[in-house]
């Protein structure tokens, strides 16, 4: 469609306000003509068409008019100035569409995907039509809008909302064409991407998205000559630990903590690094050292934030985990009982973080042999998580896995193996075949199958090769697999 044809169809849409009711189908088709610019950004159950239609219906006439003009320009290759639009007005309008869509029109807990997709579409239209300077400014502003929206989302109590918001933000950032000729967009991209990665890692299910975004960040630092920030280094090391390379992560975090302290970084950022290092140590055969480190970190959080602060309570969970890894599950259970009571008092019994505390306590009780109590608690947790997140959210699958383990420990290994067999396919679909949760679920299926007297050597060896290929020789799961293979072979 040429510029003249586009203007005729829309009734000289730019810069005048269009009569939206009569021309909505035409404007919708024009915007959809640019759908290819979006890439793979459609979440489950929401099409770009639905998102655009929903977004258009809530815009002002001026916003729709500007977007119509941008759609015309994108189709015909005409710069903004020739469309009769002021670039500053265009940028301001797009900012308003994106920012208000996040911050005002959708409150916490409401659906955000329509505005995320509209944001992606509009930024693509703008980038194609602006001068270099306008483009750099617009990219920076759009990324800042992503950051503001993400900060609002990551404070929600609903992990499912955080998960979706962080994933959608990562997709947008992955699609952005960052120009290395100007430092500002690159610096903004690195800062915003680091925030997105930390949000992805907060719930521990988004490792692939986090890894892809971090790879883009480090590629940009190499090409631009900008040194990685301490926050970016921390995000990379946190991902390294969560991916299974705990010893490597602990070593890197020790060096990072030293640099943070020498540079005078805020103490809370240093404590975050120390806490993740403690967790990595606990998972790399240094659990006693981890307990000592996390005791110090917990006390500093108490001093700085108070004993009931979420960061303090999270550190207590890490400390309990370290005690469990050292073999002292009784102390782990004691700490988790205290943690659960505090979260019930502060957040209430139905809060997702309180349910997580109950889950951790049930797991510790299972390890000390209180199997009946553990099974009953896991049923409560599983029901609460299903009601909140649906049947296939990762924490729901983890709860089902712990219940299956409990059934195995209670003397039903074949039933446990069958339950894990079904979970492997679901984890594969939800978090991917290379995710540590999927790998460990495959291990538990084989472990209980071996307990039932079935042959597992061939499949255990294949799983070992898969773990090495994805993580390397440092994953703690390899020691358990080697033990299983040795037992099965004997």
pLDDT tens string 53-67? 555 555 566 555 555
Quick check: 31 pLDDT over 80? no
Task: State both tokens at 82.
Answer: 């020739």
pLDDT for res 147: 67
pLDDT for res 132: 58
SS (H, E, C) 218-275: HHHHHHHCCCCCHHHHHHHHHHHHHCCCHHHHHHHHHHHHHHHHHHCCCHHHHHHHHH
Task: State both tokens at 81.
Answer: 């100035």
pLDDT for res 8: 43
Q: Which residue has the higher pLDDT, 386 or 23?
A: 386
Task: State both tokens at 159.
Answer: 């992990």
- Segment of 135-139, 248-252, 480-484 carrying the highest mean pLDDT: 248-252
Alpha-carbon gap, residue 335 to 313, rounded angstroms: 10
Does the pTM exceed 0.75? no
453 φψ region: left (φ > 0), alpha (ψ -120 to 50), beta (else): left
Kindly report the average pLDDT of the chain as a whole number: 75
Three-state DSSP state, 326 = coil
């Amino acid at each position: 469609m040429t510029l003249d044809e586009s203007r005729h169809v829309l009734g000289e849409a730019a810069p005048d306000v269009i009569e939206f009711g009569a021309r909505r189908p035409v404007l919708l088709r024009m915007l959809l003509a640019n759908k290819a610019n979006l890439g793979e950004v459609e979440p489950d159950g929401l099409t770009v068409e639905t998102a655009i239609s929903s977004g258009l219906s809530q815009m002002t006439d001026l916003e729709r008019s500007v977007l119509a003009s941008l759609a015309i320009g994108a189709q015909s290759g005409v710069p903004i100035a020739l469309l009769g639009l002021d670039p500053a007005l265009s940028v301001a309008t797009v900012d308003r569409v994106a920012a208000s869509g996040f911050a005002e029109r959708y409150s916490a807990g409401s659906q955000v995907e329509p505005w995320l997709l509209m944001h992606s579409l509009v930024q693509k239209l703008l980038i194609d039509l602006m001068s270099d300077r306008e483009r750099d400014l617009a990219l920076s502003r759009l990324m800042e809008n992503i950051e503001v929206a993400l900060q609002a989302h990551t404070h929600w109590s609903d992990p499912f909302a955080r998960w979706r918001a962080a994933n959608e933000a990562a997709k947008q950032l992955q699609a952005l064409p960052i120009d290395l000729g100007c430092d500002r967009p690159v610096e903004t991209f690195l800062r915003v991407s680091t925030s997105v990665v930390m949000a992805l890692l907060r719930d521990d299910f988004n490792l692939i998205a986090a890894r892809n975004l971090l790879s883009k960040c480090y590629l940009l630092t190499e090409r631009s000559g900008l040194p990685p920030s301490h926050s970016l280094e921390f995000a990379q090391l946190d991902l390294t630990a969560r991916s299974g390379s705990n010893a490597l992560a602990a070593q890197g975090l020790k060096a990072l903590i030293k640099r943070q302290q020498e540079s005078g970084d805020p103490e809370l950022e240093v404590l975050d690094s120390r806490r993740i290092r403690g967790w990595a140590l606990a998972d790399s055969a240094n659990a006693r050292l981890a307990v000592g480190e996390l005791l110090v970190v917990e006390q500093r959080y108490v001093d700085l934030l108070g004993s009931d602060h979420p960061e303090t309570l999270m550190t207590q969970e890490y400390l309990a985990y370290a005690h469990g890894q050292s073999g002292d599950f009784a102390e782990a259970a004691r700490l988790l009982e205290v943690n659960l009571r505090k979260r019930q008092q502060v957040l209430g019994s139905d809060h997702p973080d309180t349910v997580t505390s109950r889950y951790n306590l049930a797991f510790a009780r299972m390890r000390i042999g209180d199997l009946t109590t553990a099974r009953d608690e896991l049923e409560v947790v599983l029901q609460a998580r299903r009601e909140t997140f649906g049947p296939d959210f990762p924490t729901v699958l983890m709860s089902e896995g712990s219940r299956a383990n409990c059934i195995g420990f209670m003397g039903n290994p074949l039933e446990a193996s069958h339950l894990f067999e079904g979970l492997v396919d679901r984890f594969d679909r939800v978090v991917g075949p290379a995710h540590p949760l999927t790998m460990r679920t495959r291990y538990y299926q084989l472990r209980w199958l071996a307990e039932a007297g079935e042959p597992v050597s061939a499949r255990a060896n294949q799983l070992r090769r898969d773990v090495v290929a994805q993580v390397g020789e440092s994953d703690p799961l390899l020691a358990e697999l080697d033990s299983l293979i040795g037992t099965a072979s004997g």
